Structure 1
Amino acid sequence: MLVLDNILSDRGSKYAVSGAPCGSTAEARALIDELRKTKKFAKATHNSWGLICGEGQVKNDDGESGAGMIILRMLEREGLKDHLVVVTRWYGGKHLGGDRFRHVQTAVRAYLDAIA
C-alpha cells in the first residue's frame, strides 16, 4: 500500500492519503485493517475511502460526511477502477466547514499524481 503522509495541514487537522490495487469490498476492508495496524492510523479520526470495482462503487465516510463520494467522483473522472483510495484525517480541534471537501480533493489528487 502506498502511503503519502502529512500532505496537508489546516487549523490543526492533518491529512494523509493511501491506496493500493483492490478488486473487492472484502479486500478493501482487509487493506484498511492493515493500514490501521500502524498506531498512527489507528488513532486517526477518519479513514474515508472509495473503490470502483466489479461490485460497483463502494465507499465509507468513516464519520467524515461526504468524503467517500468525493473520492468516488475523482476515481470515476480518472477512470481508475480496482484501486482503493483512503483519505485519513486527524482532527485538530477546529471545524473546517466546507474546506474539508477541498482537502479531500487535494489528498486524492496527490495520490493520483503519485501513481501516474
Structure 2
Amino acid sequence: MLKLGEVLRDRGSRYAVSGGPVAGRAGVEAFLAELKREKKYAKATHNTWAAVLTDGGAMKGDDGEAGAGAVILKMLERAELRDHVVVVTRWYGGVHLGGDRFAHVVTCVRAYLDAVARSG
C-alpha cells in the first residue's frame, strides 16, 4: 500500500491519495478495509476509489462524492493501470468546492500515478 498523505488543501478541505495492487474484487474490498483501519481514513468524509481488474472489469465507488469514482476510473483506464486500486480521500473543510473538487481528484490521481511510475 502506497499512501501519499496530504496532497493538497483548498478552503479547509484536505485531500490524500492511496493505492496498491489488488487481486480481484475481494482484493479491492480488503484494501479498502485495511485503509479504513487507520482512524484518520475511517473518519474521512469521502474515500472515493476505482480499479480496473483483468478478471472483473471496472469498479468504482463515490462514497458520497458523486462522480469522483468515475474521474479516477477514467484516469486509470488512460494510464492502462490494471489490478490496482486508487483511493482519493477527502476531509471536508466546511466550504463547498463545486467543480473544483474534480480538479483536486485529478491532481491526487496524477500524483499517485507519478509516484508509481517513479517506483516501478
Residue 28 of structure 1: how far off its partner (Å): 0.6
Match of 1:24 in 2: 24
Q: TM-score, normalised by structure 1?
A: 0.98
Match of 1:4 in 2: 4
Gaps of 5+ in 2: none
Q: Quote the Cα distance in structure 2 between the aligned partners of 1:45 and 1:52.
A: 24
Q: Quote the Cα distance in structure 2 between the aligned partners of 1:25 and 1:99.
A: 30
Match of 1:82 in 2: 83
1:115 aligns with 2:116: yes
1:15 aligns with 2:15: yes
Letter of the structure 1 residue corresponding to residue 3 of structure 2: V
1:36 aligns with 2:36: yes
- RMSD of Structure 2 on Structure 1 (CA): 0.6
Match of 2:48 in 1: 48
Gaps of 5+ in 1: none
Q: Quote the Cα distance in structure 1 between the aligned partners of 2:35 and 2:85.
A: 12
Q: TM-score, normalised by structure 2?
A: 0.95
Residue 55 of structure 1: how far off its partner (Å): 0.5
* Number of aligned residues: 116
Q: Quote the Cα distance in structure 2 between the aligned partners of 1:18 and 1:7.
A: 10
Q: Quote the Cα distance in structure 2 between the aligned partners of 1:23 and 1:92.
A: 34
Structure 2 counterpart SS, 1:65: coil
Match of 2:94 in 1: 93
Match of 1:104 in 2: 105
Q: Quote the Cα distance in structure 2 between the aligned partners of 1:77 and 1:87.
A: 17
Q: Residues 20-72 of structure 1, C-alpha deviation per residue, up to 9 Å, x if partnerless?
A: 00121211111111001111101100000000002010000000000000001
Match of 1:57 in 2: 58
Structure 1 counterpart SS, 2:81: coil
Letter of the structure 1 residue corresponding to residue 49 of structure 2: W
Residue 74 of structure 1: how far off its partner (Å): 0.2
